[in-house]
Amino acid sequence: MAKKYLDKNVLDAAIERLEIMFQNFDNIYFSVSGGKDSSVMVQLANKVAKKMNKKFDVLFIDLEAQYHYTIEHIEELKQLSQIRDFYHIALPIALRNAVSVLQPKWICWEEESKHLWVRSMPSGSINIENCPFEWFKKGEEFEEFIVQFAKWYQQKYKGKVACGIGIRTDESLNRFRTIVFQNRKMTFKNYNWTTKLKIHEKHIDVYNFYPIYDWTAEDIWGAVSKLDLKFNYIYELMYKNGLSIHEQRLCQPYGDDQKNGLDQFKALEYDTWGKVLNRVNRSKLW
């Protein structure tokens, strides 16, 4: 954790940013994926919230075709002491299918494809049977769901809302430009690691916070070791399978870049591999 930024190491800087969130917002949710970045972010947030006697919510969008260890880790995160509500979303959301020219999109948790589901419907999830979102329609795009949920959450609690997002800019120049350059966005109190959310070019009273935006992969695993944080065991298996900490990715498996890592399912979770292989039309797969 030796990296310096404005005379602070990145761990101290992230904790300070989380403190700013809890000092200024009563309603906060963190978006998690089960990956290492959002996992570290929300566990740090729990430490800060506990110290400040605050609560927060968590949004997890379950994409169905995921590693067993990812879901196991999500269940661990659900036990964090300061969580008020955990929104485990298992709705039929449309996702990219880059392994087929005939079926360019697939819909996770689609009832018509239940016989092909990679996993059973998770208990306690928000699904098509109990969906509280009047605006949701089957096949809604992932990106559209994210912003509509933010709007719904803000309307539910009123006032300004903070959403914590665990992305790091060292993985993408576009991420760096989006987060750092203030002249392209509205921020909260001029903090460049915040962005006011827009829906169809109209701002809503929700601010995205990026508390670990300046971290590296080494920083993530340094924090896990130093603070004895929980982590998704699939990363250990990826490392043993030859992937460096910079190559490891957790995303829906059929995306444009993610399809190149489909064989990881075969190496790491063989039972899951067969189900993933049969889940979508794969006219371009090998």
pLDDT tens digits, one per residue of 50-61? 999 999 999 999
Q: For position 178, what pLDDT does the model report?
A: 62
Calpha distance 34→39 (Å, rounded):
6
**Phi and psi based region of residue 94 (left: phi greater than 0; alpha: psi -120 to 50; beta: remaining):** beta
Radius of gyration of the CA atoms of the chain, in A: 19
Model confidence at 31: pLDDT above 90: yes
State which CATH number among 3.40.50.620, 2.40.30.10, 2.70.98.40, 1.10.1280.10 fits the domain covering 4-279: 3.40.50.620
Specify the DSSP element, H or E, that contains 148. Answer: helix 142-157
What are the residue boundaries of the structural domains of the chain, listed by start? 4-279
Mean pLDDT of 227-249: 90
Q: With 70 as the cut, is the pLDDT of residue 67 above it?
A: yes
Q: What is the pLDDT of residue 284?
A: 44
Can you give the pLDDT at residue 193?
A: 92
CA dist 142 and 110 (Å) reads 14
